[in-house]
Chain A
Amino acid sequence: MRKILNSFVAGLALLIFAAGPSFGQDAKLIDAAKKEGGKVVIYGSLESDSMDVVSKAFQKKTGIEVEYWRGSATKVMDRAVSEYRAGKPGFDIILTNDNPMQLMQKEGIFAKYDSPSAKDFSKDSIDPNLGPRYRNVIIGVVYNKSAISPADAPKSLEDLVNPKYKGKLVMPDPTQHTTTTQWVASLEKLMGKEKAEKYIRDLAAMKPILVESLLPAAERVSTGETPIAITYVKYAYIYGQKGAPLDYVRLGKMMGDGHYLGLGNKAPHVNAGKVFIDYFLGQESMMMIAKLGEFVNRKGVYPPLPDADKIQFVELYDLDAKGFAEKKKEYTKIFLQ
């Protein structure tokens, strides 16, 4: 008993010792942030509900208010870059997809900030410039169990091109939706070049219903309008929570995009920005986001989706402007003509 007690006290002391400097640093930063105005301004594409939960907890803990401007990745980049070039950046933090973050990084928008919270992310998820890739958005195959029985549902990506699913498939338009362009272009990562090329043509020959982005695809499956969708796997959980009879195909390897956050190098509230990044990348905040269905990269934290821990994540190819233009041209011929 004494042994257990001793180890507990030693453990507690270690915890206090380990946490000590970090709390000290936080308190100093928080004071400085309050002197700057006590608020942090964020432009990002994280869903508003997720941000709401995190901001409330953050404000309760630090007393710093969060002002959030939400937009799609392209709009976030448009606004941030325009403001930055005009010399009037209104943001402290940008938080969005990999590709636009890399472009903004090249533009020189971000300051380098090594958050102490970054150490709990695996090394392969840390970008030398942008820090931890805090979440992955994973694309898979989601189906409606009322419209198609689990036994009849596809079991692999290859199954999707079986003629029996013709007219039953919805996906974002790969000539228009950039993440889907990347997804189609990256199929060779899973299948090899030759097989992927044939697969893309077979997929187009299925005449899938093409929609604007990944969410409308998920919605069409949740309403039962179309039984099967290529969309974010997390929607199986999010719509499932509301009662929609959705499940996802256990593909093993699934591809997706990474998300990062960065501190503006002309941030009006630089200290508040740092405090927020430290909190956002911390265990508490990541757990909250994961609970809402997100795949966060902190070790051992998974969304409450069955078999989420078994998914092997494969990152999508990054494409540059020229790459996107070429792929769009190619897919216009394959999917639309």
Chain B
Amino acid sequence: MNDRTVAIGRALPTNGGLARVALFFTQPVNLIFVGVASVIAFLALYPSFFLLYGSLTDSPLGVPGHFTLQNYVQAYSDPTAYPLILTSFIFGIGASGLSVILALTLAWITIRTNAPFRRLFELVAIVPNILPPLLISISWVLLLNPSNGLINGILVRLFGLERGPFNIYSLPGLIFVEGLILTPLAFLIIAAALKSMDPSLEESAKTLGSGEVGVAARITFPLMRPAILAAGTLNFVRAVESFDTPAIIALPARLEVFTTKIWREALGSFPTNHNLAATYGVGILLIALIFVYLYRRFTSQVESFSTVTGKGFRPHQIDLGRWRYLASGTALLMLTLMVILPILVLLLVSVLPYYHVPTWQTWQNLTLSNFRFVVENPRVFRAFRNSMILAIVGATLCMGLAALTAYITIRTKIAARGLLEGLVFIPWAFPGTALALGLLWAYVDFPIPIYGTLWIIMIAYITRFLPYGLRAVSSTIIQIHKELEEASTVCGAGFFATFRRILVPMMRPGIMAGWIILATTFMREFSATLFLYSPGSEALGPLLYFLYLDGMRGRVAAIGLVISVISVILIAIAQRLSRWDTE
């Protein structure tokens, strides 16, 4: 049996001449590997090359320059750079830690318990991934700013306090908001893994006398380790490279993190210093690659995480008895923080002529003009159409590529498979705007005339967000025991038949989770889109960004709400389809 497993994906021939090369290419999986590797290598290396080159030259890209290490000296000899690395690290760990704790609790309640309304909670938990992070940050500033934040105001009035107890402009404030923004991503990954878990281990523990809490602590959560680590790793890097929340909260708090530093020194400076931005990007890249390495080490004992076997199963549901209301209450509290409060603020902003702390007079001035703008403006309609195409087609293509890549990196013994995973992470590790610059330079002069079309944006999305899809699908694939593929192979099925009939259905929760993450992210992405779209291919991200830039918060909130509704419908359809398939 083991011999057959090894046969799926041989090591690249190191000697033995043409015959061995020919043998290598007779294996369909090897052909797939070469195809996938070529696509990913091109997507990742082509724009990255321009950025690396940019960090080692003394002139802007497109202008011949000289080799120099001066950018590295300037970036890393600055003594103020080191305290901010520490702040960034605390911020990244704090935000990703908070997001994983929230996601794990929420996923456990909604998937494994009989808490009332759990299905609804599960659907709603994804909503913040749909809202542009910028909007969530602004909402929290309006709720928790020390001078007239709504929550502070209410608490001051209720308890007769001298001043509001919360101050959003602080490191805990920054971590709190970013943690909430990152929770849906962690939730999707963890929930997918939790759904595909074999309950037999839990049942064995129960038979041996463990209580529900003991099973959860000793069996369920340790088994979830790859998914937890995947979510933590992804969110750590996402927090470290995020700019929206720090721009709104860290700056008034006089905190400096890596991205605000890059902005101050390179991208926001005048004229822009792309070389320096690329140099900082390389720094973040190295940090991200260390995390990828750690992740691979954590999950190297693949077999020990295999929980989906050939035996039929149905995830075991825990009867919480009277505690189930408490569980629902906890989930509701989390969703209040993640979804309900920000959405309420957005609703308020969308019907006010300008934002202010509501008074009695406010109710006389409510307006639907922002929603009228959404319905009547042809530019908004075009942006919705473009973003829907990008979300549906882009997420589907990206998940196809992610599923194949995950299979190759986890299941085969092909020598260069680790390299493939490393390649995927390269563009993701660059800060969004720096990568967008790399993409612009890379594709502006591309021989196929795709610059300025929707296709170039789709390529950018797939390049940048492939790791999201990969993480989501990897954590499920790790849990599928090899016995299923082996059985299929033994019965005479080829690679494609096994992949299509065994692996894809088994990986479905991961694929669906990844698809949802990608589609919702593509609906609102702006940093890469901004550099690559031309007027005809404007998507929702840049539209929202420009409306925000022009101070049209009401319109931004109205469009944000419409995007949320559309995305929830999209997610509900996707989940329905995946369930229908299972039935």
Contact = CB atoms under 8 A, between A and B. Distances in A.
Contact of B354 (A41, A243, A325, A328): A243
Nearest to B547: A48
A100 B269 CA distance: 12
B546 A86 contact: no
Contacts of A49: 550, 552
B568 interface: no
B579 interface: no
B209 interface: no
B491 to A, nearest CB: 55
Nearest to B141: A225
Interface in B52-75: 60-63
B534 A88 contact: no
B247 A212 contact: yes
A226 B147 contact: yes
Contacts of B267: 74
A186 interface: no
A178 B272 contact: no
B148 A87 contact: no
Interface in A316-332: 321, 324-325, 328
Interface string A69-99: 1111011011101110111101000000001
B530 to A, nearest CB: 7
Interface of A (DSSP majority class): helix
B366 to A, nearest CB: 11
Contact of B551 (A68, A79, A88, A215): A215
A222 B62 contact: no
A218 interface: yes
Interface residues of A, number: 55
Contacts of B441: 82, 86
B63 A78 contact: no
A225 B252 CA distance: 12
Contact of A222 (B251, B270, B355, B535): B355
A70 B145 contact: no
Contacts of A314: none
A77 B550 CA distance: 19
A218 B530 contact: no
A176 B263 contact: yes
Contact of A336 (B254, B440, B547): B254
B583 interface: no
B242 to A, nearest CB: 15
A31 interface: no
Contacts, number: 124
Nearest to A50: B550
Interface in A154-206: 173, 175-178
Nearest to A216: B248
A310 interface: no
B332 interface: no
B182 interface: no
Contact of B268 (A83, A176, A211): A176
Contacts of B272: 74, 77-78
A325 B264 CA distance: 11
Contacts of B165: none
Contacts of B335: none
A103 B549 contact: no
Given A67-B535, A68-B535, A222-B354, A77 B268 contact: no
A223 B149 CA distance: 10
A211 B252 contact: yes
B437 interface: yes
A2 interface: no
A100 B271 CA distance: 8
26 contacts: A41-B534, A47-B550, A48-B547, A48-B550, A49-B550, A67-B535, A75-B530, A77-B272, A78-B437, A78-B440, A79-B440, A81-B62, A86-B441, A88-B444, A100-B270, A173-B251, A176-B264, A210-B251, A210-B254, A223-B357, A225-B147, A226-B147, A235-B551, A239-B354, A242-B353, A336-B254
Given A77-B271, A242-B353, A336-B254, 20 more contacts: A48-B547, A48-B550, A49-B550, A67-B535, A74-B272, A75-B530, A83-B444, A90-B451, A90-B534, A99-B270, A215-B549, A215-B550, A215-B551, A222-B354, A223-B357, A224-B356, A242-B354, A243-B354, A244-B354, A325-B269
Interface of B: 60-63, 142, 145, 147-148, 247-248, 251-252, 254, 263-264, 267-272, 274, 353-357, 365, 437, 440-441, 444-445, 451-452, 530-531, 533-536, 546-547, 549-553
Interface of A: 41, 47-49, 67-72, 74-75, 77-79, 81-83, 85-88, 90, 99-100, 103, 173, 175-178, 209-212, 215-216, 218-219, 222-226, 235, 238-239, 242-244, 321, 324-325, 328, 336
Enumerate the 10 nearest inter-chain pairs by beta-carbon distance, A residue then B residue, closest first: A67-B535, A85-B62, A242-B354, A178-B270, A86-B445, A242-B353, A86-B444, A47-B550, A244-B354, A70-B546
